[in-house]
Amino acid sequence: MDRTEFENKLLSFGGDLDRWPSPEAEAAGHLLATDPESRALLTESLAIDNAIRAAAEAPLDAALVGRIMTATRAPTTGDVFSGWRRAVPAGALIVLLVASLGFKSGYDGGLGFAEELDLAAAVTGAAYSLDNLP
């Protein structure tokens, strides 16, 4: 393993050689035994890894956690129309359907040729054969 390959492996696997695949870790160990610049790169990589680990493990502020948990459990109050917001689109759809049906029945003079059929047969499906049509 040369120094360029070692640098690439450091960027890929980090400075902890125990987390490297065995063949690469063994080759890196041989390089580190002979090359002081590679040891300096490893030391720098370990320092960066430790800084990242320390920043990631920063303790959470207990007051902040408490405020977040309280905010997630707090019921929404003061909004009288919150339940109506979900009902408005459904109500508008129902009004639109009823208005469309009323317009069609008024425009056609009824509900079309359904008046000519036996409605009980139409509901049960018996009116959909050619023998039952007028």
Cα–Cα distances in Å, from 45 out to 1, 38, 114, 126?
A: 18, 10, 82, 81
* Measured distance CA(109)–CA(103) in Å, rounded: 10
Q: What is the pLDDT of residue 119?
A: 60
Mean pLDDT computed over every residue of the chain: 79
Give 60's DSSP letter. Answer: P
Contact 90, 96 (CB under 8 A): no
pLDDT for residue 43 is more than 90: yes
Q: What is the pTM of this model?
A: 0.43
Reported confidence tier of residue 5, pLDDT bands at 50, 70, 90: very high
* Between 72 and 117, residue with greater pLDDT: 72
* Mean pLDDT of the 82-109 span: 79
Structure tokens that stand for 14 in this block: 């980090």
* Mean pLDDT of the 9-21 span: 89
E-strand stretches of the chain:
none
* Mean pLDDT of the 95-103 span: 86
